[in-house]
Each structure stands twice: as C-alpha cells, then as structure tokens.
A and B are shown apart, each in its own frame.
Chain A
C-alpha cells in the first residue's frame, strides 16, 4: 500500500470529522483570499490607471488619513513646469461624491485637452467640448450603476450635467467614475483654482537617479507635499493600507484558528490509533516515518481546505463585486500569485497544526501502545 494511500485512508476513517475540519480551514482561507484579492485588486487598479495615463510622478499634499487629499492651489503648476525633466503637468481634482441614489461615486475634474484623457476609449457620444460646457463623461461601470446614457442628466453636488459620452478605461477606478472638466468640478465643489493632485510626465530617458533628485527637489520646494510614482501612490492610499492590514490580520487569525482546528482533529486521530501506531513501531516503522504520516495527514487536510477555500474566496469576491453597495468600487485580483498565497497559508496551518500530534504520536512507547485498547 502506498504511503499516501495510508494517509488518505486514515483521514477517511472519520469522514464527518475530516470534512468539518476541512470546512473550517476552507472558510478561513476563503476570508484570506477574498480580503487579499480585494486589497491587491484595488492597488492594481490604481497602478493600471496611472500607468495608462502615462503619469511618471504624482504630486500631492500629504495631510491626513483621508482617502482624498485636501485641495491646494493650482498655482504651483508653473513652478513644477520649470523643474528639470518635467515635460507636462496636469492638475486634477478628485472627490468621492454621493450622486443621486448611489452612496458615493468617484468624481474627477480633468483639464480639458490634458494628457489624462488620451488613454480613455470613447464607447458612445463625445468628449466635453470645452471647459464652459456643463457636460460629463461617465465610465462604463458608472453609467451602469447610475443608469445613465448619453443625453441624460446627472446631478453632481449642486450642478446638473448632461452626459455627453461614455468611456472605457483599463482600470475599474476610472470605469466607475464620473469625469467633468476641471473648472466645472472646481466650481461645483467650491474649490475654484484648486486641485488635489498634479500628474507629471517627465522627459523620455529620465534616469532613476534624476527622478529621485526631482522628488527631493519637489519636497524641498513645496513643504508638506510629496511626489510619488504610480505604484507608491496606490501603496500610500489609506483605503488600500487598511484593506491590506485587514487581509494580513485575517490571514494571521485564519492561521491560528485553522491550526488549532487541525491540531485537535489530528490529535484525536492519533489518540484513537494508539494501538495501531504501536503495531507500526513494532513491525519496524521508524519514528520519523510516524512523524511524516501524521504531518502528511494534517497537510492533506489543510491543502484540501486551502483549495476549497480559494474557490470559495474567489466566488465571494465575484459576489461582492456585483453587490449593489460595492459594484464599481472593488475589483478583486484573481491570480496564480494569490492562489499560491492561499495554499501557503493552508500548508502553514497544516504544518503548525500537525507538529504537536506528530510529536506525540512518534514518542509513544511501542509496548505501551500495543497494550492500549
């Protein structure tokens, strides 16, 4: 009989107990997968948005833990343009706004004719004609959530805008957004002359060392401001940081709770098989082989739970994405990397939970174990 067959047969002796343990592990791993998927997806979505915009540096004011930095005067643009390697500067105002029946929607104000518009693909209608026109363009997801089409009106704060176009972007954060021209959003949010981000394009061929020098120069010239690369701005987003912290905390809890569950199941199984372990030792099995047998049992159990949990977690993310409250706001990442993390968590808890029972099983004196009834 193959060693693995022995492992499987041992687990199937008590199918209900094994299944319940597996279900416990699966739920823990599913929570890890769902939270990590959302955190990674959110970060990835912002990174994709910035990369697609062709933004090399993002300058913003670091003031609070708020998801949106406080607006500041756009008069800094001229000074930024004079700095070495800076080719283009686009001011941007963004805000989370409760629109009509929807709780909150991301609203951007972009400079008409700026480079930020270049990566968007117009699906229907047209772009706003000029900064005076009271029009808005909606991402495909935002149009779906707000139930708007070209020609309908959308109320953003005190302003009423005609939807002139629907666009598609490679990033959910933009597809779920409403875009007005910068002057229109500034006016309607009473932030005239203010932005909360500058997107910078640098000269082609700017070296990493020159980029670092520029960042230092920006920080020195504008106290309280920071210059981030596309990846860093996502990592510094407070919502992403909270999601990541939650995902790590859940992983840790799942690991602990799962390990205790596995330990309990495998330990009970070892106690029930005391006599059998005695026989195995008596016929010449080494103690290390007993350790392996018990560890394999706990790892097979947790690995199966990890696979089931991953499937459950990915399904949960899909469900969350389509829930009315989160639709258009989260984009879970389903990747081999995340699957590997889930399996690592499962294997980790299997190993952790199996160590003590394996030690107990291997230390049984054969004579005493044989007499055990």
Chain B
C-alpha cells in the first residue's frame, strides 16, 4: 500500500496539471520563475555526431550566467579543443531591448552579434548562435495550440511567432511544456517555408535542489538528419554570486591569461 501512495500522488499531480488550464503567459511565467537565479555555472559537453561516418566532435563548454535586477548575462565559453579554447559568446539581455552581446576570440578580438554571426554554427555544432541568443519566449505572439502527452507527461503546446521584421531565421517555434516541471521537454523551430528546421529534445530530466527540474541532456536534431548534436551537462551550480567582470572582454582576457601556463 505504501508503494502505491507515491504513484497515486504522481498520478494526481499529472492529472491536476492536465486538468488545469494554463494560458500562454502563465506557462512562460512558470518557466521564467523556475529559471530565476542570482547566478549559475554549468559544465557541459557539446557532442556533434555525423550520421554518415559516426565521427564525434567534442567541445567542452563552460556556461555561466548572472542576473542583476531584470538584466541578465550569459557566457558560453569553449574550454577544449585547443583550436577554439577561450572563444566565448556573451549574451546580454536588458528589459525593453533586443538581446545583444559579443563574440570573443583570443587574444583580444571582440565582435558584435551581427546577423551573419547569429546565423553561424555554435562551435561547429547543429546549434546556431541565434539559438542561444534569441529568446522566443519574449516574442509578442504566443498562443497555446493544444495539449499532448509526451513520454506519458502532460504537455501544453505553445506556439511562438516572431514580430514582423525580426532578425530571425525562424517563423515559428513550437514548445511542448510540462507545467508540473516548468520545463519545455521538446522544442521545434520552423523555417519561413514551414519546414521543421530543428528539434530539441530534453532527456534525463533531473530534480535539483529546491525542487527545480532540469534536463541534463538536450538532443538537437536538424532537418535532413545528416548529424545530431547532444548538449550534455556534467555539473551545475545555482544561486551563485558571480562578478560582472567575468562577462566583459577584460575579464575574459584576464581569466585566459591566468589559466595558461
């Protein structure tokens, strides 16, 4: 009987989530609330596998973020292989402004995020720089298009459309959001001609300290199926106080100089 109770509780939770009616804004707010933290640091591996040869290319990444009021900064830095070591993408988000930032290349090159740069693959993977910079949750057009169970989990399908004239390669982003986890478990991005451009699937969902859920592994499957990329978290810390200096050009140059023998 005792073992049945947790199952009933989980079932009831799922049913409650299924029965509850969420609006698009409420779903986005749940995700944003769950992501809120003063600062975080994550170590991840980006593994791109070619479908034809099965060859794997591994990039070790350090991902750090900090929040100050409503402004946030996220840093994606390559630690390995040597060819890209030290290169970093810094994304800056400020309320009322489009996401900005820069790309750092050692020893001291700093390039703003232009349309050409946004379209480039992120460290040779199936992710583009835009996938990390563009926050489609903030697009003005958001609607709940339906509900679907994914892997037995009740999900809302949220459709996000960019505003006219937005500098994005995508015309539509569909997210399958599990409200009980406050997490998108699948995201599909569509080209302007309506074809699926990429599918992001969250795997290995883990409950973290504080009851938050996170995906330890995200699989990115681009259209055509010639390759796939896995972003695999190996370690994560939250609620850190990270100095703003770490997200500046000078900070990046200094940390690289200190890290080299």
Contacts and interface: CB of A to CB of B under 8 A. Distances in A.
Given A97-B43, A98-B234, A157 B81 contact: no
A98 B255 CA distance: 20
B4 to A, nearest CB: 20
A312 B60 CA distance: 38
A161 B259 CA distance: 8
Given A98-B60, A100-B60, A188-B259, A155 B80 contact: yes
Interface in B38-53: 41, 43, 45
Given A100-B60, A100-B80, A101-B58, A157 B260 contact: no
A155 B261 contact: no
Interface string B219-251: 000000000000000110000000000000000
Greatest chain A CB density within 10 A among B45, B209, B256 is at B45
Interface string B38-82: 000101010000000000001010100000000000000101111
B58 A162 contact: no
B153 interface: no
Given A135-B261, A155-B60, A100 B81 contact: yes
Contacts of B81: 100
Given A101-B58, A135-B261, A157 B85 contact: no
Interface in A60-103: 64, 95-101, 103
Nearest to B256: A158
A161 B234 contact: no
A158 B62 contact: yes
Contacts of A155: 60, 79-80, 82, 85
A98 B261 contact: no
A160 B62 CA distance: 14
A158 B77 CA distance: 9
Contacts of B45: 98, 103
A40 B190 CA distance: 52
Nearest to B58: A101
Chain B CB count within 10 A is highest, among A97, A100, A104, for: A100
B234 A104 contact: yes
Interface residues of B, number: 21
A134 interface: yes
B74 to A, nearest CB: 16
Interface residues of A, number: 23
B41 A161 contact: no
A159 interface: yes
Contacts of B256: 158
B6 to A, nearest CB: 18
A160 B43 contact: no
Interface in A94-132: 95-101, 103-104
A190 interface: yes
Contacts of A98: 43, 45, 60, 234-235
A160 B261 contact: yes
B55 to A, nearest CB: 12
Most central of A97, A98, A157, A161 by chain B CB within 10 Å: A98
A341 B235 CA distance: 37
B111 to A, nearest CB: 21
A10 to B, nearest CB: 43
Contacts of A96: 234-235
A157 B41 contact: no
B259 A158 contact: yes
B134 to A, nearest CB: 27
Interface string A36-79: 00000000000000000000000000001000000000000000
Interface string A265-305: 00000000000000000000000000000000000000000
A161 B261 contact: yes
A95 to B, nearest CB: 8
A153 interface: yes
Given A98-B235, A155-B60, A158-B256, 8 more contacts: A98-B45, A99-B60, A100-B60, A103-B45, A135-B261, A153-B261, A155-B80, A162-B261
Closest 6 CB pairs of A and B: A134-B261, A98-B234, A159-B259, A158-B259, A155-B80, A101-B58
9 contacts: A64-B209, A97-B235, A98-B234, A98-B235, A104-B234, A157-B62, A158-B77, A158-B255, A188-B259
